[in-house]
């Protein structure tokens, strides 16, 4: 039956994916600071390594059961190396496909600072990389905090699988809903009543299942602490998708962050993997 649990059928989930994705990918409106994007990229670079790359280390612990020191890995959209750097320490070699120059500069700096030398970077749009260019025998093809970049999820999954001779894995963020709802109330004065869906990240699991990928799944927790300015930008980058962050809203965010205080937080991510 088309659309059955084990039968891939993009048409039945495409609309739901588009809706969630459109929300997730709205560019943040953060007009209060013309340098916002560059500063946020630098925050990402610095925070990728928080507590010795704890996010990546936790994910690698989970993926450890399908990896060994001879594994060859393809990572798509590596950003500043949040996963790449701890992963590179337990496998033979990683090929990274990353399209954004600023992310590549951050990745190169973090690789150098970490003394990691077994990562090759290809500056390219993943969607334009031909199968013949990278081959089809990576032991693991992985992307972390990346899925929402892909409009056609089925195509992306098929492309990952074509490059893999072993496993595929995706890692998704989880659990930012309370912050988004609180800040919404703070800046609009209205209680959150479903105006947007900060829980959208969780949908990936159901959609992957619906597309016939019977994933193994494990939740990981990791710690994160931003300084005051980083926390304000983090909140602004999230809430800026739903409301313009001008100087007035930025002040409201600052008040919210001051009231909550700066502390180490526990964040979550979901690691999902399957045999290609």
Q: Which stretches of the chain bind ligand SAM, using CB under 6 A?
A: 48, 77-79, 82-83, 97-100, 103, 125-127, 144-146, 149
The least CB distance from residue 252 to ligand SAM, in Å, is 26
Nearest to 76 by CA among 67, 65, 87, 68: 87
The least CB distance from residue 59 to ligand SAM, in Å, is 9
Nearer to ligand SAM, 86 or 211 (CB): 86
* Measured distance CA(17)–CA(204) in Å, rounded: 8
Q: 158: which residues sit within 8 A by CB, 6+ positions away? A: none
The least CB distance from residue 123 to ligand SAM, in Å, is 9
Nearer to ligand SAM, 75 or 139 (CB): 75
Q: What angle do CA 202, 203, 208 make, to 5 degrees?
A: 115
The least CB distance from residue 30 to ligand SAM, in Å, is 16
Angle between helices 101-114 and 36-48 (to 10 degrees): 30
User: Which helix (H) or strand (E) covers residue 93, if one does?
Assistant: strand 93-98
Contact 272, 170 (CB under 8 A): yes
Nearer to ligand SAM, 170 or 257 (CB): 170
Nearer to ligand SAM, 98 or 139 (CB): 98
The least CB distance from residue 266 to ligand SAM, in Å, is 17
* Measured distance CA(11)–CA(3) in Å, rounded: 8
Nearer to ligand SAM, 83 or 253 (CB): 83
Nearest to 229 by CA among 257, 249, 264, 252: 257
């Amino acid at each position: 039956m088309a659309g059955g649990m084990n039968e891939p059928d993009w048409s039945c989930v495409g609309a739901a994916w588009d809706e969630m994705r459109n929300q997730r990918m709205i560019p943040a409106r953060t007009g209060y600071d013309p340098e916002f994007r560059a500063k946020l990229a630098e925050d990402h670079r610095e925070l990728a390594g928080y507590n010795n790359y704890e996010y990546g280390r936790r994910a690698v612990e989970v993926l450890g059961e399908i990896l060994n020191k001879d594994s060859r890995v393809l990572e798509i959209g590596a950003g500043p190396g949040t996963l790449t750097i701890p992963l590179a320490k337990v496998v033979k070699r990683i090929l990274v496909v990353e399209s954004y120059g600023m992310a590549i500069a951050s990745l190169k700096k973090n690789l150098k600072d970490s003394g990691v030398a077994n990562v090759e970077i290809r500056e390219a749009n993943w969607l334009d990389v031909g199968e013949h260019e990278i081959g089809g025998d990576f032991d693991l093809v992985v992307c972390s905090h990346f899925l929402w970049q892909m409009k056609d999820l089925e195509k992306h999954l098929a492309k990952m699988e074509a490059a893999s001779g072993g496993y595929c894995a995706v890692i998704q963020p989880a659990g930012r809903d309370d912050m988004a709802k609180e800040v919404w109330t703070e800046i609009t004065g209205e209680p959150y009543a479903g105006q947007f869906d900060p829980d959208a990240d969780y949908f990936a699991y159901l959609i992957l299942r619906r597309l016939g990928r019977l994933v193994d799944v494990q939740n990981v927790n990791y710690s994160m602490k931003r300084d005051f300015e980083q926390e304000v930008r983090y909140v602004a980058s999230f809430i800026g998708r739903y409301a313009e962050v001008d100087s007035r809203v930025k002040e409201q965010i600052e008040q919210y962050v001051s009231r909550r205080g700066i502390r180490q937080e526990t964040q979550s991510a979901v690691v999902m993997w399957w045999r290609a």
